[in-house]
Each structure stands twice: as C-alpha cells, then as structure tokens.
C-alpha cells in the first residue's frame, strides 16, 4: 500500500475530525446525563451559565424562578451546578440531610486568602474546629451571666454617648464605630497562655495538643481566619439587625409604646434587663422574631456543597453541586404567614397573648447541624439592647422625614437609606 502526501493529509484530517467528534459526543453525553440528573431550571449562556442574569435581589429572583420551575430548581453558574431549594417543606428536609453539610471547595479570594475559616470548611476539620470554638466560647462565658454583664456594660457606655448628644445624629455611623472600637479594645488585652480566657487561648491550647498531627487544621492561619470570621459574622449581622429594629420602632411607634408598657409592667424602667426576663416579655420577643423574619438579613443561606449524590423532595442533587436554601421564600410564604408583607409582631403571640411562639420555619439562623453558632448570643444581644434603649429613650426620626423600609443588598439585606434619629430621655 502506498501513502502519498495527499493521502496522509486526508487520513490525518479524518483522524483529527474523528477525535474531535468523539470528544464532543462524549462531552455532550456527559452533559446530557448530568443535566438529566439535575432538577429543571433556566438555561444560561455557554461557559458562564446563568451568572450574567443574576440580580442584586437574588432572593426575590430565586422565589420567582421557583414559581416557574418548581421548588427545587437548578442552573449553571460558571463551571458550577447550582441548586436552589425553596419552600419550608424542602428546606426542612435539606437541613437534616448529612450530605448537604459541605461548603464549596474553592476559597473566596484564591491567591489572596488561601486558608479557610471553619465557616468554609467541610468534613472532619469543620467538625473539630466548630467543636473547639463552641466549647471554648461556652466555657469562657457565652450564654453565662458574665457575658450578660459585659454586654450591659457595653450598652451602658453606648447610652452615655447617646445622652451626651443634644442634636440629632446618625445613630448608625456611631453604632458601627462603637462596635469596631469595642472589638479593638478586646484585642489589645494580654493573653495568659496558662489559663483559657478567650477563644484565642482555647485555639492555641488545642493547636499545641495537635502539634504532631499531620495536616491538622489548627494553625495560626486558621486562627486568624476564624478570628476574622467571628468579628465579621458577629458584628455586622447584629448591628444590621439592630438598625432594622430601630427603623421598625420609628416607623411603627405604637410598637415602641407597647414594648415600653411591657417593660414597665415587668422589670420597670430602672433595673437592667437580664436574659431570663425574656420569658415574661412576650410582646418584646414577638417584636424581635418579626424583625428577624421581616428583614431576613441573610436571605439566601451561605453556599453548601453536596458531598455525595443525594436527593431532596425526590429531586436529584449530584455530588459537588452547590446548594442554596432560599430562607426569604420561607419567611415571605403566604401559606405560612398571614399577609407576609406586613410588619406584624402579633403573629408570634399565642391566642391569649401570654407567650411568644417561635415556629420552626423562622429560620433566620438556618438550622440543623450547621446552624449559626451565634444564635443564642444574637438573641441575648438583641434583647438586651432593645430593652435597655426603650427603658431610657423615646426614639423618633427627624420630623418631616419619611421612614423608608426600602432594602439594599450587599451580602446582607440592608437599609437603603437611614434617617437621623432623635433619642429623647424617658422621664
Ligand atoms: C442576627 C444575627 C445573625 C444571623 C441572622 C446569622 C445567620 C447565620 C446563617 C444563616 C448562617 C449559615 C448557616 C448554614 O450554613 O446553614 C450563619 C453561620 C454562621 N454564623 Fe451567624 N448569624 C448571626 C449572628 C452571628 C453571631 C453573633 C456569630 C458569632 C458570634 C455568628 C457566627 C456564625 C458562624 C461562625 C457561622 C458559620 C457556621 C458554620 O459554618 O459551621 N453569627 N449565621
């Protein structure tokens, strides 16, 4: 058999075409197989998927897409398959699914931040880090009366600042700098290596116990990332929720009066509030629950990742797809809440109004094994701040200023505009 130059060229071209076709067919088969496994959803563009179509208010967009494609839907987001779970029935099931406890493998800023905090970890390292964080924080005072004392001291010094102002001013700017200053002060304190006084001591202690362990996640980079996590996750969320609560108090002054009446009937205007007082202050608690529901500051959960092939509500969730729970859809579902677009704390009261009931579908802090570890601390702070402020001040906005509840979205659901507030001492 003779091969001429043109024969060889034709052979090579055919061979090349054959390879390309094989590659494409294989790719298409794999793509179709994966897409067939995934829940239905909108198509996007090649390579980027649905990414360019995502809106700022993505929780509303996800709720709209759920109405079109079903409560569990999916779309491509760059190279990732993203599955969005809506409605309480399905989110409830997903929160208890042990294969949906992972986080994305990638770091947020590769090359800039290459270490994970425990909020970004998966599997055994996440379990170990979370356990040490929770036990240390519990042992050093989270949820103890000493913690209440330090929050009360913090509120007291902040109230003094408020009293010293004769003019209206932006509460919100002060608030932010106040919290940042407090955290900075705490950071300056000397650390006694022999006794665990705070989370950093606890972490270093664990790090030395595990120094011979190969691939231990207890290292200084993780400590730094975890410290930043606690600061970030703990301060912005609380101050943003308090800002929403202040806005609701000035928008609906009747609730301010109701809470102050409850304070007068229970602890009075002079004794400092304590965590146990919550039990006899149903309306105050109902106001806090409604503020968390109505603002839903974390409307879509932090991204989860399926660590195995799994199912939710009969829909397949392939391994390594990213999963989002749309808490907003739960908090604004008319099947669960009467007139969800109204701010109505009374919805959390029982029939004779003697108790505030928190239903399981109030999921501001998520749920299941990855539930926010700061939940009880957040309730404590929100309660102490709210009651202390209303014991001391009548809060109003500058006259003539319309109180807008419009939302803006920068990671958390924030206020679009913030009025200057007037704090008049309660006589
Ligand atoms: C109103 C206040 C807060 C809200 C609404 C909130 C909400 C949330 C939500 C929805 C998650 C995601 C959980 C999941 O993946 O299922 C989360 C995680 C987390 N939160 Fe909070 N949080 C608040 C306050 C705090 C505070 C005060 C702290 C710490 C002192 C904190 C520390 C964390 C941490 C460390 C995680 C990651 C947990 C993990 O991945 O295992 N949060 N939070």
DSSP string of 196-222, one letter each residue:
--SHHHHHHHHHHHTTTSTT-S-SHHH
Task: Supply the pLDDT for residue 150.
Answer: 73
Q: Is 262 a domain residue?
A: yes
Atom of ligand 1 nearest to the CA of 137: 30
- Please give the share of the chain, as a percent, with pLDDT higher than 90: 59
- Greater pLDDT, 84 or 19: 84
Ligand 1 pocket test, candidate residues 296, 372, 373, most atoms within 8 A of CB: 372
User: 221 pLDDT exceeds 90?
Assistant: no
> What's the pLDDT tens digit per position in 11-60?
788 888 888 888 888 777 776 666 678 999 999 998 899 999 999 999 99
**CATH number for 326:** 1.10.630.10
Residue 183: domain span: 38-425
The pLDDT confidence band at residue 67, using thresholds 50, 70 and 90, is very high
Q: Is 309 a domain residue?
A: yes
User: 108 pLDDT exceeds 70?
Assistant: no
Residue 236 has which token pair? 């912005």
Weakest mean pLDDT among 73-77, 242-246, 266-270, 407-411 = 407-411
Q: What whole-number distance in Å separates Cα of residue 122 and Cα of residue 210?
A: 19
Tell me what the mean pLDDT of segment 244-254 comes to.
96
Tell me what the mean pLDDT of segment 306-333 comes to.
97
Ligand 1 centroid to 305 CA: how many Å?
17
Query: Is 372 labelled a binding residue?
Result: yes
Task: Supply the pLDDT for residue 6.
Answer: 61
Tell me what the mean pLDDT of segment 402-422 comes to.
88
User: 372 pLDDT exceeds 60?
Assistant: yes
Ligand 1 pocket test, candidate residues 104, 129, 237, most atoms within 8 A of CB: 237
- Greater pLDDT, 5 or 107: 107
User: 333 pLDDT exceeds 70?
Assistant: yes
Closest residue CA from atom 17 of ligand 1: 372
Task: Supply the pLDDT for residue 336.
Answer: 98
Q: Is 204 a domain residue?
A: yes
Q: What whole-number distance in Å separates Cα of residue 204 and Cα of residue 207?
A: 5
Task: Supply the pLDDT for residue 227.
Answer: 80
- Please give the share of the chain, as a percent, with pLDDT higher than 70: 85
CB 189, CB 204: distance < 8 Å: no
> What's the pLDDT tens digit per position in 187-210?
455 554 455 677 777 778 788 789
Q: Is 390 in the pocket of ligand 1 (CB under 6 A)?
A: no
Tell me what the mean pLDDT of segment 143-165 comes to.
72
Q: Is 301 in the pocket of ligand 1 (CB under 6 A)?
A: yes
Task: Supply the pLDDT for residue 194.
Answer: 53
User: 70 pLDDT exceeds 60?
Assistant: yes
User: 182 pLDDT exceeds 60?
Assistant: no
Weakest mean pLDDT among 108-122, 135-149, 185-199, 365-379 = 185-199
Q: Is 412 a domain residue?
A: yes
Q: Where are the alpha helices (DSSP H) in 96-198?
A: 123-140, 145-164, 171-188
* ipTM value: 0.98
Tell me what the mean pLDDT of segment 118-130 comes to.
94
User: 277 pLDDT exceeds 90?
Assistant: yes
Ligand 1 centroid to 265 CA: how many Å?
33
Own/partner pairs, 223-232, CB within 8 angstroms, 24+ separation = 224/115, 225/113, 225/115, 225/116, 225/117, 226/117, 226/118, 226/129, 226/133, 226/199, 227/199, 227/200, 228/117, 229/117, 229/118, 229/119, 230/199, 231/183
Atom of ligand 1 nearest to the CA of 226: 35
Tell me what the mean pLDDT of segment 121-136 comes to.
93
Please say whether the dihedral angle defined by the alpha carbons of residues 247, 411, 330 and 61, taken in this order, is positive or negative: positive
Atom of ligand 1 nearest to the CA of 377: 27
Ligand 1 centroid to 95 CA: how many Å?
15
Q: Is 12 a domain residue?
A: no
Tell me what the mean pLDDT of segment 323-349 comes to.
97
Q: Is 291 in the pocket of ligand 1 (CB under 6 A)?
A: no
Whole-Å CA distances, 112 to 108, 286, 304, 317:
9, 43, 22, 31
Tell me what the mean pLDDT of segment 350-373 comes to.
97
Tell me what the mean pLDDT of segment 322-333 comes to.
97
Sheet holding 72-77, edge to edge: 72-77, 80-85, 322-325, 304-305
Count of domains for the chain: 1
Ligand 1 centroid to 262 CA: how many Å?
30
Q: Is 237 in the pocket of ligand 1 (CB under 6 A)?
A: yes
User: 69 pLDDT exceeds 50?
Assistant: yes
Ligand 1 centroid to 375 CA: how many Å?
7
Rg (CA), the chain: 26
Ligand 1 centroid to 232 CA: how many Å?
10
Task: Supply the pLDDT for residue 143.
Answer: 59
User: 183 pLDDT exceeds 90?
Assistant: no
Tell me what the mean pLDDT of segment 59-86 comes to.
96
Atom of ligand 1 nearest to the CA of 126: 41
Q: Is 3 a domain residue?
A: no
The pLDDT confidence band at residue 83, using thresholds 50, 70 and 90, is very high
The pLDDT confidence band at residue 170, using thresholds 50, 70 and 90, is low
User: 363 pLDDT exceeds 70?
Assistant: yes
Weakest mean pLDDT among 202-211, 245-254, 310-319 = 202-211
> What's the pLDDT tens digit per position in 283-310?
999 999 999 999 999 999 999 999 999 9
Q: Is 22 a domain residue?
A: no
Q: Is 7 a domain residue?
A: no
User: 176 pLDDT exceeds 60?
Assistant: no
Q: What whole-number distance in Å separates Cα of residue 118 and Cα of residue 46?
A: 34
Tell me what the mean pLDDT of segment 411-422 comes to.
88
Ligand 1 centroid to 103 CA: how many Å?
14
Q: Is 302 in the pocket of ligand 1 (CB under 6 A)?
A: yes
Mean pLDDT computed over every residue of the chain: 86
Closest residue CA from atom 7 of ligand 1: 365
Tell me what the mean pLDDT of segment 259-265 comes to.
97
């Amino acid at each position: 058999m003779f091969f001429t130059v043109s024969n060889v060229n034709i052979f090579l071209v055919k061979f090349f075409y054959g390879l390309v076709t094989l590659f494409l067919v294989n790719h298409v088969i794999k793509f179709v197989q994966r897409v067939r496994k995934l829940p239905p959803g909108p198509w996007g563009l090649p390579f980027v998927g649905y990414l360019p179509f995502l809106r700022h208010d993505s929780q509303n967009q996800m709720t709209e897409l759920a109405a079109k494609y079903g409560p569990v839907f999916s779309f491509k987001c760059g190279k990732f398959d993203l599955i969005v779970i809506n409605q309480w029935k399905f989110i409830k099931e997903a929160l208890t699914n042990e294969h949906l406890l992972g986080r994305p493998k990638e770091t947020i800023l590769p090359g800039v931040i290459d270490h994970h905090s425990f909020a970004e970890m998966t599997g055994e390292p996440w379990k170990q880090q979370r356990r040490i964080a929770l036990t240390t924080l519990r042992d050093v005072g989270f949820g103890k009366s000493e913690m209440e004392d330090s929050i009360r001291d913090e509120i007291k010094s902040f109230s003094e600042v408020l009293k010293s102002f004769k003019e209206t001013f932006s509460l919100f700017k002060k608030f932010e700098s106040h919290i940042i200053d407090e955290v900075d002060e705490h950071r300056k304190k000397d650390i006694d290596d022999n006794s665990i006084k705070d989370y950093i001591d606890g972490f270093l202690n664990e790090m030395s116990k595990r120094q011979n362990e190969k691939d231990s996640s207890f290292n200084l980079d993780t400590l730094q990332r975890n410290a930043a996590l606690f600061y970030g996750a703990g301060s912005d969320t609380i101050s943003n929720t308090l800002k929403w609560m202040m806005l609701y108090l000035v928008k609906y002054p009747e609730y301010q009066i109701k809470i102050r009446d409850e304070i007068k009937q229970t602890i009075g205007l002079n004794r400092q509030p304590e965590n146990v007082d919550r039990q006899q202050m149903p309306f105050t608690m109902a106001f806090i629950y409604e503020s968390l529901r109505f603002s839903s500051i974390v409307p879509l959960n932090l991204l989860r990742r399926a660590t195995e092939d799994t199912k939710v509500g009969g829909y397949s969730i392939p391994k390594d797809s990213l999963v989002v729970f749309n808490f907003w859809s739960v908090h604004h579902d008319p099947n669960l809440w009467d007139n969800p677009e109204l701010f109505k704390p009374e919805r959390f009261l029982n029939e004779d109004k003697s108790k505030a009931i928190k239903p399981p579908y109030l999921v501001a802090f998520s749920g299941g094994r990855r539930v926010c570890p700061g939940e009880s601390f957040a309730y404590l702070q929100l309660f102490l701040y709210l009651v202390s402020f209303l014991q001391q001040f009548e809060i109003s906005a500058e006259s003539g200023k319309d109180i807008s509840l419009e939302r803006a979205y920068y990671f958390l659901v924030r206020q679009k505009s913030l009025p200057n507030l007037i704090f008049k001492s309660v006589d």
